[in-house]
């Protein structure tokens, strides 16, 4: 079944003949870039958008991965932070982020002669609240992973099968996803939460989130790691490090890490109407 999906994915790129990939360096868009390059070679181009919501470490990873694959890779800047519809952090914030991204990529693709812009949206993404997907569709972007119903787990399986060493890389969505809806997003806040996550990863905790609510940092880890974190980490040192970054309070989420947790407020809001 998985082999069949991979062949379907390859067939999509064969029909395109040329493709520009919206490439964040995450596991999904990296798989798309890998398959596109395997099929199209020099007729595939990966573009990474750089803004304050992307950590420099993530950009370096994207460069290394693209070089390993062999695909041509270019960098563009996006300016969503100049849009108050984005920085005010409404529930459809991602719509304005992806609008900025694809309003940048589409004319670039046209200028360079690429008839298609493709992204890394997978089948599981379609089951979550992702307003950015609509923005991409409105601008003509294609989502080949979703088209052949490849799930997140299958993205990892295919990446491992194709020999990509980062097949188990933790998901790393836009840093703006660390803030509750309605809290204004600033460059300083993005840098603060990004530095906090990098700090914990350097201590060995890879699959995590640092949620930022006003002056409070809330650390989310997989539930099975919470006990180990409490017993075997110098909590005082972590608190001091986070306070040096600008947080006043540091908490640990006892429920643990759950993707899309901040979207719960949307379900709660709709249930009261």
Does the global pTM surpass 0.95? no
> Are residues 247 and 126 both part of a single domain?
no
Where a domain ends, among 161, 189, 213?
161
* pLDDT at residue 260 greater than cutoff 90: no
What is the model's pLDDT at position 271?
Answer: 53
Where a domain ends, among 161, 194, 209?
161
> Are residues 219 and 246 both part of a single domain?
yes
- Residue 24: which of 163, 242, 175 has the closest Cα? 175
> Are residues 208 and 235 both part of a single domain?
yes
Please provide the distance, in angstroms rounded to a whole number, between the alpha carbons at the two ends of the chain: 43
Let me know if 111 is exposed, middle or buried by CB neighbors in 10 A (0-12, 13-18, 19+). Answer: exposed
Angle (CA) 97-117-113 rounded to 5° is 125
* pLDDT at residue 265 greater than cutoff 80: no
For 231, left (φ over 0), alpha (ψ -120 to 50), or beta? alpha
> Are residues 124 and 240 both part of a single domain?
no
- Taking CA atoms, 237 is separated from 33, 192, 203, 221, 242, in Å, by 40, 17, 11, 18, 9
In a domain, 271, yes or no: no
> Are residues 194 and 130 both part of a single domain?
no
Please provide the average confidence, as pLDDT, over all residues in the chain.
94
Q: How far is the C-alpha of 184 from the C-alpha of 137, rounded, in Å?
A: 27
Structural domain harbouring 94:
2-161
- Residue 198: which of 31, 30, 23, 60 has the closest Cα? 60
Q: How far is the C-alpha of 61 from the C-alpha of 7, rounded, in Å?
A: 27
> Are residues 44 and 94 both part of a single domain?
yes
What is the model's pLDDT at position 129?
Answer: 87
> Are residues 179 and 143 both part of a single domain?
no
User: What's the CA dihedral at 6, 40, 18, 33 to 10 degrees?
Assistant: 60
What CATH number is attached to the domain comprising 143?
3.40.50.620
The phi, psi pair for 118, rounded to 5°, reads: -120, 150
In a domain, 168, yes or no: no
* pLDDT at residue 31 greater than cutoff 70: yes
> Are residues 72 and 48 both part of a single domain?
yes
> Are residues 57 and 133 both part of a single domain?
yes
Across the range 197-219, mean pLDDT stands at: 95
Q: How is residue 63 written in tokens? A: 């460069």
Q: Across the strands, what pairs with 49? A: 76
Helix, strand, coil share (%) of the chain residues, nearest 5? 55, 10, 30
What is the model's pLDDT at position 266?
Answer: 67
Alpha-carbon dihedral sign for residues 245, 246, 248, 254 = negative
> Band of the pLDDT at 57, cuts 50, 70, 90?
confident
The DSSP H or E segment spanning 76 is strand 72-77
- Taking CA atoms, 206 is separated from 1, 17, 67, 138, 200, in Å, by 31, 38, 23, 35, 8
63-118 pLDDT, tens per residue?
A: 999 999 999 999 999 999 999 999 999 999 999 999 999 999 999 999 999 999 99
Looking at the structure of the chain, the number of domains it has is: 2
Helix (H, G, I), strand (E, B) or coil at 159: helix
What is the model's pLDDT at position 30?
Answer: 97
The answer to whether the CB of 58 falls within 8 A of the CB of 155 is: no
What is the model's pLDDT at position 267?
Answer: 58
The phi, psi pair for 57, rounded to 5°, reads: -65, -35
Let me know if 92 is exposed, middle or buried by CB neighbors in 10 A (0-12, 13-18, 19+). Answer: middle
What is the model's pLDDT at position 46?
Answer: 98
What is the model's pLDDT at position 226?
Answer: 97
């Amino acid at each position: 079944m998985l082999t069949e999906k991979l062949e379907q994915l390859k067939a999509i790129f064969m029909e395109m003949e040329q493709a520009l990939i919206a490439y964040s360096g995450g596991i999904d868009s990296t798989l798309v870039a890998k398959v596109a390059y395997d099929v199209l070679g020099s007729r595939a181009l990966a573009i990474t958008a750089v803004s304050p919501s992307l950590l420099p470490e993530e950009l370096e990873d994207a460069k290394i991965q693209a070089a390993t694959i062999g695909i041509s890779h270019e960098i563009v800047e996006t300016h969503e932070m100049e849009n108050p519809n984005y920085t005010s952090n409404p529930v459809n914030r991602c719509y304005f982020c992806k609008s900025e991204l694809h309003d940048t990529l589409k004319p670039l693709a046209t200028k360079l002669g690429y008839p298609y812009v493709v992204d890394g949206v997978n089948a599981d993404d379609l089951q979550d609240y992702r307003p950015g997907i609509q923005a991409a569709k409105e601008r003509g972007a294609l989502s080949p992973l979703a088209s052949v119903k490849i799930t997140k787990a299958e993205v990892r399986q295919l990446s491992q099968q194709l020999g990509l060493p980062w097949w188990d890389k933790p998901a790393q969505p836009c840093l703006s996803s660390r803030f509750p809806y309605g809290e204004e997003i600033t460059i300083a806040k993005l840098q603060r939460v990004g530095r906090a996550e990098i700090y914990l990863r350097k201590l060995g905790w890879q699959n995590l989130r640092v949620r930022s609510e006003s002056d409070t940092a809330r650390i989310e880890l997989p539930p099975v790691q919470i006990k180990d974190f409490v017993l075997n980490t110098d909590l005082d040192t972590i608190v001091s490090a986070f306070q040096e970054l600008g947080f006043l309070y540091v908490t640990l989420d006892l429920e643990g890490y759950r993707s899309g947790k901040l979207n719960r407020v949307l379900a709660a809001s709709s249930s009261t109407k």
